[in-house]
Amino acid sequence: MGSRIADIARSEQTDAAILDAATRVLERDGAAGFNTNRVAERAGVSVGSLYQYYPNKVALLFALQEREIRTTTAMLEGILAEESWSPRRRVVEAVRGFFETEAAEARLRHSLQDAEVWLRDSPELTAARARIFEVVLRFLESTTRRKKRDLPFAASVIVTVVSSVAESLTSTSSDPDLRRRWADTIASMLANEFGIVA
């Protein structure tokens, strides 16, 4: 049993090392220079070992995107569940956090587009968007006095506006002060619109 647990831990460490190496190669070399040989070399594993985890570079790119989405979703869940903060503060912190993760992902997003790896309609990304929608919906159910039937629309507007503005802004600007100003403005607008009080 102990040996099996050790094998699982090693496997998880190898997987994490491969994904970290893939991120660094993608950031350094862009889509044109991204390949499994470079990733394996950077991760300190053989190409054969890498293929046991990811059969090709597209699978690796999908995994990078999925990891970013999981991290973002966990961050949003943590912030929106922080009951020691007012609902309005949670909205502000969640929008700020989302803008920051989008800024950190901007190079990955550009590289994926350069590689013509379009993930928008993939089942994984669709499921991730649904998860974020559910997180926002649960938050609204516990913090606003809007009619229950109106909350799915409100959650949809919030997710669409925040993600669209964050992606657009971080694609054109890397200014952290501008990001924060946009995040605070969007958070205030949405909180006012949907009755999320201090």
Task: Look up the CATH number of the domain holding residue 26.
Answer: 1.10.10.60
Residue with tokens 């994490």: 16
For residues 99 and 162, state if they share a domain: yes
| Model-wide pTM > 0.85 | no
pLDDT at residue 125 tops 80: no
Asked if the model's pLDDT at residue 188 lies above 60, the reply is yes
User: In terms of residue numbers, what domain contains 41?
Assistant: 1-55
CA atoms of 129 and 20, how far apart (whole Å): 24
Backbone torsion region of residue 185, taken as left when φ is above 0, otherwise alpha when ψ lies between -120 and 50, otherwise beta: alpha
The pLDDT tens digits for 51-110 are 999 998 888 888 888 888 888 899 999 999 999 999 999 999 999 999 999 888 877 777
Question: Looking at residue 115, what is its pLDDT?
Answer: 57
Number of domains comprising the chain? 2
Whether residues 40 and 87 share a domain: the answer is no
Average pLDDT, the chain: 88
140 in the same domain as 72: yes
- Give the span between the Cα atoms of 58 and 62, in whole angstroms: 6
- Whether 76 and 111 map to the same domain: the answer is yes
DSSP state of 149: G
CATH of the domain at 70: 1.10.357.10
31 lies in the same domain as 64? no
Task: Name residues whose C-beta falls within 8 Å of residue 157's C-beta, 6 or more positions apart in sequence.
Answer: 190, 193, 194
pLDDT reported for residue 75: 95
